[in-house]
Structure 1
């Protein structure tokens, strides 16, 4: 009888250990998956982000596949109330980003980075296109107030809004970025003078941000030489 009880106890202990190992593996797997996600929402605390620019081993911006067919047209409402199409941006490079005005953390830092770029390239041949992923909230009036917080130049730094489903398509089909209501990627998309994607730059990574500046300078210089 005692032997039977011991065997039962051993089997129960083995089951408990097995369940513990399975739970640990599941948690670790989810943690690894979460590390690869670059989508941010209003549920994230500002304390979850490092305030300083990060320096990682991945200093090279990614590029779109050369054999991929990319859409290149959209029309949205700017904070001025005027409709602006992507065709109107051709001839100069521009940077596309996605944000929303009530975001308390990542969007603020992201637009501070755009402010830095605007200050460096003020009045030069480059535009900044910030597209809201909460257009129900971000009316032209709200966007005007939001843009004023960053001293956004009305001609060079555009704040765009429109239908959410349409903005989802712009993000996914034109710029290959995940976009949904109050969700966006932590990347800037640099578009060349012909409306083609030059690269995707993760702005918190300092080497990529500096590379973005360098590439903008080169594009502006090339455009100026071509026009002269």
Structure 2
């Protein structure tokens, strides 16, 4: 599946689009800087991925779902606070309706109404994009397709996700493996 077309503003006030990322392997996440729950974990896990990959053809696209507060200036502060060195890690902002529509095109859940607390709900899913602008995935150990990676390594205590109760899901490790494979293509 082709990556949805996008064009947003990054933490350096530069316009970044899907076309700018062609030739790179990258991960897309939806997040916001003031998120008190999963976003800090997702950002730290993506930093771990970035550290393990260290390839100039690898990048991360972090799209805020709270553009009113996450201005380019605030995204720059966030990137600096995280110690991001990769010039291909773009923290993107823009029009909230556009971002919401983009999340639906990616099929990654983001709350619709930003004026409510629900509007800042979002999934911890990550999309992996290859050098040709295609969304890529893998199969889990039981042969089921994983269309998106979890931004969180997690244990499924009750076996609700098609796994055995208590099974550990090493999604970030899988993501690293798959990025390395795609960089070699």
TM-score (norm 1): 0.64
Alignment of 1:115-134 (within 5 A): 115-134=47-66
| Contact 2:8–2:15 (8 Å) recurs in 1 | yes
Match of 1:195 among 105, 109, 133: 133
- Aligned-pair CA distance for 1:124: 3.3
- The CA deviation string for residues 26-67 of structure 1, in whole angstroms up to 9 with x for no partner, is xxxxxxxxxxxxxxxxxxxxxxxxxxxxxxxxxxxxxxxxxx
- Aligned-pair CA distance for 1:70: 5.0
Match of 1:211 among 152, 159, 174: 174
Gaps of 5+ in 2: 115-119, 138-147, 154-168
Gaps of 5+ in 1: 1-68, 223-228
Match of 2:110 among 167, 171, 179: 179
- Aligned-pair CA distance for 1:154: 5.0
User: Take 1:150 and 1:166, find their aligned partners in 2: how far apart are those partners?
Assistant: 26
- Check if 1:220 corresponds to 2:183: yes
| Contact 1:93–1:125 (8 Å) recurs in 2 | yes
User: Take 1:158 and 1:171, find their aligned partners in 2: how far apart are those partners?
Assistant: 16
- Check if 1:149 corresponds to 2:93: no
User: Take 2:78 and 2:151, find their aligned partners in 1: how far apart are those partners?
Assistant: 20
User: Take 2:136 and 2:55, find their aligned partners in 1: how far apart are those partners?
Assistant: 22
Higher helix share: 1
Q: Tell me, what secondary structure is at the counterpart of 2:46? A: helix
User: Take 1:163 and 1:135, find their aligned partners in 2: how far apart are those partners?
Assistant: 7
- Aligned-pair CA distance for 1:184: 1.5
Partner of 1:55: none
| Contact 2:3–2:133 (8 Å) recurs in 1 | no
Alignment of 1:21-170 (within 5 A): 72-153=4-85, 155-170=87-102
- Aligned-pair CA distance for 1:105: 2.2
User: Take 1:169 and 1:149, find their aligned partners in 2: how far apart are those partners?
Assistant: 29
| Contact 2:49–2:172 (8 Å) recurs in 1 | no
- Aligned-pair CA distance for 1:152: 1.1
Count of aligned pairs between the two proteins: 153
Root-mean-square deviation over aligned CA pairs:
1.5
